[in-house]
Amino acid sequence: MCKVLLIDDDSPTNFYNQYILKKNNINCEIVTLNNGLIALEYLKTHEFPNLIFLDINMPVMDGLEFLEAA
């Protein structure tokens, strides 16, 4: 099964992205995380996703810092 990772500190944006994926019959596990640091910790213990939606401007660790660290 495929996996999509949504990384955004804005809950409505994560909700909308989930809605769009489900509406378009994307049959994937959808995981939602609130910042890049949490996402890095998640990736240490889980399979790498097939697709990542990544917000660039977030507190704690922004999207660019996440990309550099991943």
* Segment 51-67, tens digit of pLDDT: 999 999 888 887 888 88
* Segment 9-65, tens digit of pLDDT: 999 999 999 999 999 998 899 999 998 899 999 999 999 999 999 999 888 887 888
Q: What's the distance, CA 49 to chain centroid?
A: 9
| Per-residue pLDDT at 62 | 78
Cβ burial 27-40 (10 Å sphere, 16+ → b, else e): eeebebbbbbbbbb
